[in-house]
Amino acid sequence: MSLLKTKFVEKAVPAAADFKKLLKEYGNVEIGKVTIESALEGMKGIPALLCLTSKLDSNEGIRFRGYSIPELQEKLPKLSPNDEPLPEGLFYLMLLGEIPTMSDVEEISKEWKKRAIIPKHVYAVIDAMPKESAPMADFSAAILALATESEFLKAYNAGVGKKDYWDSTYEDAMNLLAQLPVIAAYIYRKHFFNGEVIAADPSLDWSANLAHMMGFDSPEIYKLFRLYLTIHADHEGGNVSAHATHLVASALSNPYYSYAAGMLGLAGPLHGYANQEVIAWVQDMIKEIGTETPSKQQIHDFCEKTIAAGRVIPGYGHAVLRKTDPRFEAQREFAGKYCEGDSFIQIINDLYEVVPPILGSLGKVKNPWPNVDAYSGSLLMHYGIKEAPFYTVMFGVSRALGVLASILWDRALGMQIERPSSFTMEWFKEKAGI
Ligand code: CMX
C-alpha cells in the first residue's frame, strides 16, 4: 500500500469512530435555525454539511485545512523558493490535514504519472462529440466514459462490505486525478488545434504537464498553472460542484459519476462558467466602445448598461463571501508581478474600482466584490490561452482535488444517503401564519 493510502487509513479509522460517537451521543443537539428565507433562497447558511477539506469565512475567504492562500504559498512544497505551491501537496493536505514534505509530494506525483492511462474508448467518446459541443460537455462525457474503469464499481459488484468502500474509492480518486489533465488537454487540442495531441512529459509535475500537453511551455506559464490549480481546488462543501459531487456520491454512485455530476454544476453561469463569461463580456465591451483601452467612465457606462438589461456582472458577487475573494487577490498579485502593460488585465483592474460601487448602489447585492472568476481568464489570455470556452474545464481539473478528497472522507466515515425533506407551498404559508 502506498504511504498516502496507509496514512489515510490510519487517520480514517479513528475519525470514523469519532463520527459515530458524535452521532450516537450528541445527535439531538440543535445546531442552527432554519428560516423560510434560508430554505427558499438556496438553503444558504443552513449548517447542514460536513466538510473536512476546507472552510469558507465570509470576510476572510477560504482556508484549506486551516491554511489561507498566502499561508499555502509559504508552507506547501514548491519547486523553487519563488514558485507557486504544487497542487499535489494541497491534495495531501486536504486528505490528511498535514502539510506534506517534498518527498510526500514526489510520491503523489510519481503515482499520478503511473496512473495516467486513458482507455481508447474514452478518446472515441470525445472524438464523437461534435466540434460545436461545449468543452465542458466533452469533459463530463469523457469522465462518464472513464467509469468503465471504476474500482469502486467492481468492488461493489463483487460484494465488498460498507466499511471497505473507502479503499476502492481511493483507487478511483487517484486514477481520476492522474487522468484528468490528459483528458482536459486532449479536449483542448481537439477543439482548438485540430486534434494534434502532445504527449505528457514525464519530467514535469501535474500542473506543468497540463500546460505542456495543451501546448504551452514556459517557466512562467507552469507557475501560473500551479497557482491556478491550487486556488480553484476547494471552497468548502456547499458550493454547487462540491455539493453535487457529495450528493451523488451519497447514493453510492462511483467517483466518476459523482465527479461528473459536480462538473455539470460547475458548467453553470452562476458558478464556474462565469470564468468564461467574464472574458466574453469584456470582449463585448471592447467591441462596443471601440477601443482596447476604455476609460473608467466608459467601463462604468457599460456596466450600467449590463445591469439595466437585467444581466449580472460576471465575476462579481458571491453566495457566502462578503469581501474581495482572496483567490482574486492571489491572481491580481501574480499579474502585478508578471503581466505589466497588458491592456486586457488593465480593464480587469479598472473593473475592480468601477463595479463594487455600482453593485453596492443597487441595494440588493449582498456582496459587490469580485470572486475568483473575475481574474482567472485574463491571466490565461495573457499567456496566449485565448479560448475562453475551455476555461471552466481547467477550473474542473483543479476542483477534482477537493471534491475527490471529500468523497473519500464520506466513504471512510460511512456517511449516509443525503435526503433532506421538502414541503408544499401550503406548508410554508401555514408556517408563516398566512
Ligand atoms: N451583478 C448583478 N446583480 C447581481 C450580482 C452581480 N454580479 N450578484 C448578485 N446580484 C443580484 C442577484 O441576481 C439577486 O438579484 P434578484 O434579487 O433580482 O434575483 C440579488 O443581487 C441578490 O443576490 P445575492 O444574494 O447577492 O447573491 P446570490 O447568493 O443569490 O448569488 C452569485 C451569488 C455568485 C450567483 C451572484 O452574485 C452572481 O450571479 N454573480 C455573477 C456570476 C458569477 O460571478 N458567478 C461565479 C461565482 C463564483 C463561482 O462559483 O465560481
What beta strand segments (E) does 169-300 contain? none
Q: Whose CA is nearest to atom 50 of ligand 1?
A: 271
In this structure, is residue 348 part of a structural domain? Answer: yes
10 Å Cβ neighbour count for 110?
13
270-314: pLDDT as tens digits? 999 999 999 999 999 999 999 999 999 999 999 999 999 999 999
Told to judge if 373 belongs to the known catalytic residues of this protein, a careful annotator would answer: yes
Question: What's the gap in Å between 9 CA and the centre of ligand 1?
Answer: 40
Measured from the CB, is residue 364 less than 6 Å from ligand 1? yes
In this structure, is residue 167 part of a structural domain? Answer: no
Let me know: does 260 contact 254? Beta carbons within 8 Å: no
Q: Would you report the helix, strand and coil content of the chain in percent, each value rounded to 5?
A: 65, 5, 35
| Residues paired with residue 316 on neighbouring β-strands, in sequence order | 370
pLDDT of residue 329: 98
131-185: pLDDT as tens digits? 999 999 999 999 999 999 999 999 999 999 999 999 999 999 999 999 999 999 9
What confidence category does residue 384 fall into, taking pLDDT thresholds of 50, 70 and 90?
very high
Instruction: Say what percent of the chain tops pLDDT 70.
Output: 100
Q: Whose CA is nearest to atom 29 of ligand 1?
A: 319
- Locate the ligand 1 atom nearest the alpha carbon of residue 239 and give its number: 50
Let me know: does 199 contact 213? Beta carbons within 8 Å: yes
Question: What's the gap in Å between 358 CA and the centre of ligand 1?
Answer: 13
In this structure, is residue 143 part of a structural domain? Answer: no
In this structure, is residue 203 part of a structural domain? Answer: no
Told to judge if 271 belongs to the known catalytic residues of this protein, a careful annotator would answer: yes
Q: 243 is written with which cell numbers?
A: 455539493
Measured from the CB, is residue 241 less than 6 Å from ligand 1? no
Let me know: does 56 contact 62? Beta carbons within 8 Å: yes
228-284: pLDDT as tens digits? 999 999 999 999 999 999 999 999 999 999 999 999 999 999 999 999 999 999 999
Q: Whose CA is nearest to atom 39 of ligand 1?
A: 270
What confidence category does residue 326 fall into, taking pLDDT thresholds of 50, 70 and 90?
very high
The residue whose CB lies within 8 Å of the most ligand 1 atoms, and thus the one to mutate among 37, 366, 373, is: 366
Q: In the predicted model, is pLDDT for residue 1 greater than 90?
A: no
Question: What's the gap in Å between 142 CA and the centre of ligand 1?
Answer: 30
The residue whose CB lies within 8 Å of the most ligand 1 atoms, and thus the one to mutate among 322, 352, 364, is: 364
Instruction: Say what percent of the chain tops pLDDT 90.
Output: 100
In this structure, is residue 356 part of a structural domain? Answer: yes
Q: Please compute the mean of the pLDDT values over residues 336-357 and round it to a whole number.
A: 98
Q: Whose CA is nearest to atom 17 of ligand 1?
A: 364
Q: How many domains is the chain partitioned into structurally?
A: 1
Q: In the predicted model, is pLDDT for residue 323 greater than 90?
A: yes
Question: What's the gap in Å between 365 CA and the centre of ligand 1?
Answer: 7
Look at residues 109, 373, 374 and name the one whose alpha carbon lies nearest to residue 232. Answer: 373
The catalytically annotated residue of 232, 235, 318, 382 is 318
- CATH of residue 322's domain is 1.10.230.10
Question: What's the gap in Å between 39 CA and the centre of ligand 1?
Answer: 17
191-231: pLDDT as tens digits? 999 999 999 999 999 999 999 999 999 999 999 999 999 99
Q: In the predicted model, is pLDDT for residue 66 greater than 90?
A: yes
In sign, the C-alpha dihedral spanning 376, 174, 93, 3 is negative
Q: How far are the Cα atoms of 166, 275, 403 from residue 409, in angstroms, in the given order?
A: 8, 29, 10
The residue whose CB lies within 8 Å of the most ligand 1 atoms, and thus the one to mutate among 136, 316, 355, 394, is: 316
3-state secondary structure of 326: helix
What's the chain's average pLDDT? 97
> Where does 55-164 have alpha helices with state H?
69-75, 87-96, 102-115, 120-128, 135-146, 151-157
In this structure, is residue 303 part of a structural domain? Answer: yes
The residue whose CB lies within 8 Å of the most ligand 1 atoms, and thus the one to mutate among 365, 399, 403, is: 365
Domain that holds residue 279: 275-382
Cα separation, 154 vs 95, in Å, equals 24
In this structure, is residue 378 part of a structural domain? Answer: yes
In this structure, is residue 174 part of a structural domain? Answer: no
Look at residues 356, 344, 326 and name the one whose alpha carbon lies nearest to residue 383. Answer: 344
Cα separation, 140 vs 143, in Å, equals 5
Question: What's the gap in Å between 312 CA and the centre of ligand 1?
Answer: 7
Question: What's the gap in Å between 318 CA and the centre of ligand 1?
Answer: 6
Told to judge if 191 belongs to the known catalytic residues of this protein, a careful annotator would answer: no
